[in-house]
Amino acid sequence: MYHKPTLPSRVMAWGAALAASLALSGCDLLVMNPHGDIAKQQASLIVTSTLLMLLIIVPVIALTLYFAYRYRQSNTEATYAPEWDHSTRLELVIWGAPLLIIIALGAITWISTHKLDPFRPLDRIAEDKPLVADVKPLEVYAVAMDWKWLFIYPEQGIALVNEMAAPVDRPIHFRFTSTSVMNTFYVPALAGMIYAMPGMETQLNAVINKPGVYEGLSAQYSGAGFSGMHFKFHGLSDAEFAHWVEGNKAGGNTLTRADYLKLEQPSAKEPIRRFASVEPGLWSAIVDRCVDGKKMCTSQMMAIDAAGGAGKGGVAGTMRSAWRDLDGARRERTVVAALCTPANPLGLPVETAEASPAVAQKN
């Protein structure tokens, strides 16, 4: 049975709606008010596209309401023309205006797609700050794991889990990959979302223009620990960044391949971890998916495929690799065994390579 709302309940409902609107009006919508030049250009593109589409949407809504009111059944003064079926001028307006908007949106999209290409190096720091000729971008390698982020600074020789930093007004060149499934790197204040995929390397060029601590996350669902896959992005001055680097070097161990294999195992809500140095060649091994030295690297596998494949002999070149789920359950995965690794350049079986004096001497 329907009960008409009483006056107090309606007052409370209106009061709640007013309070919510006032609370939302005080929010800082970081996506539309970011602190990185790339993100600002993307926000401007959203605003421009929305305004162009509103040039059609608003008149259509207004005319719909006007016609519904003007030609209502009770309005006997409205023109009644049941035989009317065509107007050239009206057709030109109906089709011409949207066509012009589509052309404008297409031109803006084409220009922005090239200008904001994530792989394209920056040509400016901000709208009023041109790029200095001799400035060198900060290199950052990012690995999406289950369920955490690993950041490697090759020039500084450090690595961190779930934390990264960059100097303000200095270009940043990111390289991304993933250990198992597709993930999305997203710092709303910095730039748009960039996918990280296993066995592949994607890139992003960006810059942060304002000091602060910003939220970073994965925007692609990737399993049980996805909700805790967050990290902190620090925008620092040059001096603060140098101090931050030195602090990481003083407070961590070396990130070796063995440490990486342990870190690669699924874990949720991982705390910040710091590594003072990184084993050489680790990043290329991560992208090539052969960190443990037992699996065949993808580049080698692709070279074999390009040469015609290994035929039936390739079926025997597989092995079982141990894996652990988030709940601790032990599992195994079938992988292609390595032919040659840095520790086994002749492609001998692991036991033979370890026992061979010639191989040991060569290494």
Tens digit of pLDDT for each residue in 200-243?
A: 999 999 999 999 999 999 998 988 889 999 999 999 999 999 99
Residue range 97-125: mean pLDDT, rounded: 94
Model pLDDT, residue 261: 94
pLDDT in tens, 70-87: 989 899 888 888 888 889
Q: Is the pLDDT of residue 326 over 90?
A: no
Model pLDDT, residue 132: 87
Residue range 165-172: mean pLDDT, rounded: 96
DSSP string, 42-63: HHHHHHHHHHHHHHHHHHHHHH
> Are residues 286 and 250 in contact, defined by beta-carbon separation less than 8 angstroms?
no
Residue range 192-204: mean pLDDT, rounded: 95
Distance between alpha carbon 76 and the CA centroid of its chain, in Å?
A: 60
CA distance 116 to 46: 13
Q: Is the pLDDT of residue 353 over 70?
A: no
pLDDT in tens, 39-67: 999 999 999 999 999 999 999 999 999 99
CA distance 195 to 201: 9
> Are residues 298 and 289 in contact, defined by beta-carbon separation less than 8 angstroms?
yes
Model pLDDT, residue 339: 60
Q: Is the pLDDT of residue 18 over 70?
A: no
Report the relative pairing of strands 172-178 and 138-144 from DSSP bridges.
Answer: parallel
Model pLDDT, residue 116: 94
Which is higher by pLDDT, 276 or 320? 276
Provide, rounded to the nearest whole percent, the portion of the chain with pLDDT above 90: 61
CB atoms within 10 A of CB 344: 20
pLDDT confidence of 4, banded at 50, 70, 90?
A: low
CA distance 171 to 205: 7
Model pLDDT, residue 100: 94
Q: Is the pLDDT of residue 351 over 70?
A: no
Which is higher by pLDDT, 342 or 52? 52
Which is higher by pLDDT, 334 or 300? 300
Model pLDDT, residue 45: 94
- Which residue in 121, 124, 120 sits closest to 132, CA to CA? 124
Model pLDDT, residue 36: 94
CA distance 268 to 282: 23
CB proximity list for 122: less than 8 A, separation 6 or greater: 37, 38, 131, 137, 171, 205, 206, 207
Model pLDDT, residue 360: 37
Name the pTM for this structure. 0.78
Structure tokens at 66: 């006007």
Q: Is the pLDDT of residue 127 over 50?
A: yes
Model pLDDT, residue 357: 40
CA distance 281 to 53: 50
Model pLDDT, residue 358: 38
Which is higher by pLDDT, 250 or 7? 250
Side chain identity at residue 38, one-letter code: I
Query: To which residue do tokens 């960059």 refer?
Result: 166
Q: Is the pLDDT of residue 315 over 50?
A: yes
Model pLDDT, residue 308: 78
**Range list of β-strands (E), 111-241:** 124-126, 129-130, 138-144, 149-153, 158-161, 163-167, 172-178, 183-186, 194-196, 202-206, 212-218, 230-236
pLDDT in tens, 132-164: 888 899 999 999 999 999 999 999 999 999 999
Mean pLDDT of the chain: 84
Model pLDDT, residue 303: 85
CA distance 308 to 260: 33
